[in-house]
Chain A
Amino acid sequence: MIENLNKAFENRIRLGLMSILMVNDWVEFNKVKELLNATDGNIASHVNALESLNYIDVKKEFVGKKPKTTYRVTKLGKKAFKDHLDALEQLLKEL
């Protein structure tokens, strides 16, 4: 059963980021930071990891002179996260 858990989601920040994106459309960096109570650098490194797995889309744009970064979960990411949740649930049932 343990092998069904996705290693990509073992970290607290990644788990949190995926949770946010599962129930929201595009979400801003600042919102993520506020909800997860994490530092900029910490979030950025986990974002990169999830992006390289194609679990999330990252959009960078400028609003006036301010840069704005937003995230969205991909279809692949949604499926991977759902499978991870199912595995977690299964594990808890068995223990």
Chain B
Amino acid sequence: MDVNRHYFENLNEIRSIMEKSSRFISLSGMSGVMAGIYALAGAYAVYWYNHMHTIEYAIQSLPDFFSSVSFYRFYLVIGFTVLFLSILTGIFLTVKRAKRKHQTVWDQVALRMIINLSIPLLAGAGFVVVLLHHNYFELIAPTLLVFYGLGLVNGSKYTLNDIRLLGILEIITGLLCGISSISGLYFMAFGFGVLHIVYGLYMWLKYEHNEPIIE
């Protein structure tokens, strides 16, 4: 009986070490929450900007505001600011968490995760450029959501498995956005904002909430 248990524990330990050594597990759930907040703030800024300018254009009966260049420039600046702040916060919180747990952050596993996450993301970014080239502006929001979801699904093989479901939810949000008549802005606010906040909190409660501090 004891021998049986010994071998069973052996196998369990092997499985756990294989899992731990091949997955990037330091990612902090709070970085998801913060990314979600930035995204919601960005979405609100765009909403406000659209609102103000639509009124202004209507009053002055200027040509269609949505075809103006400054409109897209504002979108781009907001988009990149949200992306940049999210990445920066993510790195900061993850490094902090890894240090607290005395883990190394930057290793081959982290690199593998980032590469696998990035391939669909870069493909998506490239595809958005193609859409811009053909003036298919209404397809940009669904494309961003779907490719981001694909990136998460692909990267999830090298990090916590929960990320996979988030990826699938992003893909569904993107597809719904594509067939809906509601503005893509609301879907982006949901996919990049609400989903990140809910998921980040869930991950934080599941893994970090009562994480022991190793001295």
* Beta-carbon contact of B108 and A24 below 8 Å: yes
Stretch at the interface among B4-12, B123-131, B205-213: B4-12
* Beta-carbon contact of B108 and A85 below 8 Å: no
1/0 per residue, CB under 8 A from A, across B1-41: the answer is: 00110011011011001101110000000000000000000
The number of residues on chain B lying at the interface, defined by a beta carbon within 8 Å of a beta carbon of chain A, is: 19
A63 within 8 A of B: no
The number of residues on chain A lying at the interface, defined by a beta carbon within 8 Å of a beta carbon of chain B, is: 23
| Closest CB in chain B relative to A26 CB, distance in Å | 8
Task: Give the nearest-CB partner of B19 in chain A.
Answer: A23
| Closest CB in chain A relative to B70 CB, distance in Å | 49
Task: Collect the chain A residues with CB atoms within 8 Å of residue B11's CB.
Answer: 85, 88-89, 92
Interface majority SS on B: helix, strand, loop or mixed?
A: helix
Task: Collect the chain A residues with CB atoms within 8 Å of residue B4's CB.
Answer: 91-92, 95
What would 5 more interface pairs be, CB under 8 Å, given A20-B18, A88-B11? A16-B13, A24-B108, A30-B104, A31-B107, A91-B4
A22 within 8 A of B: yes
* Beta-carbon contact of B13 and A15 below 8 Å: yes
Task: Collect the chain A residues with CB atoms within 8 Å of residue B103's CB.
Answer: 34
B102 within 8 A of A: yes
* Beta-carbon contact of B22 and A24 below 8 Å: yes
Contact A34/B108 with A19-B17, A92-B11 known, Cβ cut-off 8 Å:
no
Task: Collect the chain B residues with CB atoms within 8 Å of residue A27's CB.
Answer: 21, 108
Q: Which 9 A-B pairs have the closest CB atoms?
A: A19-B17, A20-B21, A23-B22, A95-B4, A19-B14, A23-B18, A19-B18, A16-B17, A88-B7
| Closest CB in chain B relative to A78 CB, distance in Å | 13
Alpha-carbon gap, A36 to B20, bound state (A): 10
| Closest CB in chain B relative to A93 CB, distance in Å | 11
Subset of 22 A-B contacts with CB under 8 Å = A16-B14, A19-B13, A20-B18, A22-B18, A23-B22, A24-B21, A24-B22, A24-B108, A24-B109, A27-B108, A28-B107, A30-B104, A31-B21, A34-B104, A35-B17, A85-B14, A88-B7, A88-B11, A91-B4, A91-B7, A92-B4, A92-B11
A12 within 8 A of B: yes
* Beta-carbon contact of A88 and B10 below 8 Å: yes
| Closest CB in chain B relative to A81 CB, distance in Å | 9
Alpha-carbon gap, A95 to B11, bound state (A): 15
Alpha-carbon gap, A78 to B29, bound state (A): 36
A25 within 8 A of B: yes
Of the candidates B13, B18, B20, the one having the most CB atoms from chain A within 10 angstroms of its own CB is B18
Alpha-carbon gap, A2 to B103, bound state (A): 37
* Beta-carbon contact of B108 and A20 below 8 Å: no
Alpha-carbon gap, A22 to B21, bound state (A): 10
* Beta-carbon contact of B20 and A35 below 8 Å: yes
1/0 per residue, CB under 8 A from A, across B90-126: the answer is: 0000000000001110011100000000000000000
